[in-house]
């Protein structure tokens, strides 16, 4: 189904004609949206701005942006709900999401992470910082491993080249960070990894992620890959130390 974007919703944009990475910006405060748009374009990105979430998904499926920058407080569908919808849309589920918000509480950060956000920028922010954070998240997509390695453990299959996960033959949708965390743990199976080691490996340049965030990601991964998330067979907790990927017998 293709719904036309309402013209009033669009501040800039049009069909993509270049190979520059497209950033979808959803921000209802027009002066901030203009500031972001100006700076991202100057930094070499193409920008499509939306003042509400209404037509974002439809447009995103058509344009496949490189990244979403979502304000949390939006009229109608808020940024968190939009994130949830993006993560549930197969064509969009692996596209990185950065939240942009005045809210700074730990609870909101954790919520953003739980919903699949990759980073979180609080207002006011400097345009330079914004561009740097976007570049960092986009760089995180460049995959360190090459080749066509597939890791198989019982019903679990982790395909490193295509960044896909299957459980008992069914595709499981993961975000880029979830995938990289799972891949890292599985590649170091049998070894105990501390939260700090996992942070270094998967979130190197993302300053807002705390060791506590690792627990959020592990919980989400368990819900996706474990037959019984409360009694995990792959992702084991070592109380007070960290996590270990175990190969079930």
Residues that bind Ca ion (CB under 5 A): 28, 71, 73
Residue indicated by tokens 């109608």: 76
Residue 142 in 3-state DSSP? coil
Toward Ca ion, which CB reaches closer, 28 or 155? 28
Report how far residue 85's alpha carbon sits from residue 81's, in angstroms, rounded to the nearest whole number: 6
Give the pairing type, strands 242-245 and 192-194.
antiparallel
Toward Ca ion, which CB reaches closer, 29 or 215? 29
Toward Ca ion, which CB reaches closer, 13 or 79? 79
Neighbouring C-beta atoms of residue 184, cutoff 10 Å? 17
Minimum gap (Å) between residue 130 Cβ and Ca ion:
15
Question: For residue 182, what are the contacts with CB-CB under 8 A and spacing of at least 6?
Answer: 158, 165, 174, 221, 225
What is Dmax (Cα atoms) for the chain?
58
Toward Ca ion, which CB reaches closer, 9 or 28? 28
Minimum gap (Å) between residue 189 Cβ and Ca ion:
44
Minimum gap (Å) between residue 58 Cβ and Ca ion:
21
**Token pair listed for 126:** 């400097």
Toward Ca ion, which CB reaches closer, 73 or 163? 73
Minimum gap (Å) between residue 123 Cβ and Ca ion:
9
Residue indicated by tokens 């990759």: 118
Give the pairing type, strands 242-245 and 164-167.
unpaired
Minimum gap (Å) between residue 51 Cβ and Ca ion:
9
Minimum gap (Å) between residue 24 Cβ and Ca ion:
15
Rounded to 10 degrees, the C-alpha dihedral 114/119/124/127 comes to -160
Toward Ca ion, which CB reaches closer, 46 or 71? 71
């Amino acid at each position: 189904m293709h719904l036309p974007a309402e013209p009033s919703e669009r501040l800039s944009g049009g069909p993509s004609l270049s190979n520059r990475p497209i950033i979808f910006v959803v921000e209802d405060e027009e002066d901030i949206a203009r500031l972001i748009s100006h700076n991202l374009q100057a930094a070499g990105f193409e920008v499509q701005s939306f003042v509400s979430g209404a037509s974002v998904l439809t447009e995103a499926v058509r344009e496949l942006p490189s990244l979403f920058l979502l304000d949390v407080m939006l009229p109608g569908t808020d940024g968190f709900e939009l994130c949830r919808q993006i993560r549930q849309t197969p064509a969009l589920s692996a596209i990185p999401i950065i939240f942009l918000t005045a809210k700074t509480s730990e609870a909101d950060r954790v919520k953003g992470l739980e919903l699949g956000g990759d980073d979180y920028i609080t207002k006011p922010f400097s345009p330079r910082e914004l561009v740097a954070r976007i570049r960092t998240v986009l760089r995180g997509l460049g995959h360190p491993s090459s080749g066509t390695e597939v890791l198989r453990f019982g019903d679990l299959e982790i395909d490193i080249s295509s960044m896909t996960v299957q459980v008992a033959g069914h595709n499981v949708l993961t975000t880029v960070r979830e995938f990289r965390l799972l891949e890292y743990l599985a590649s170091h199976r049998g070894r105990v990894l501390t939260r700090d080691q996992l942070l270094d490996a998967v979130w190197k340049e993302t300053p807002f992620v705390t060791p506590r965030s690792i627990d959020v990601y592990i919980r989400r991964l368990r819900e996706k890959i474990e037959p019984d998330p409360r009694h995990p067979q792959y992702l084991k907790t070592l109380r007070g130390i960290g996590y270990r990927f175990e190969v079930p017998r």
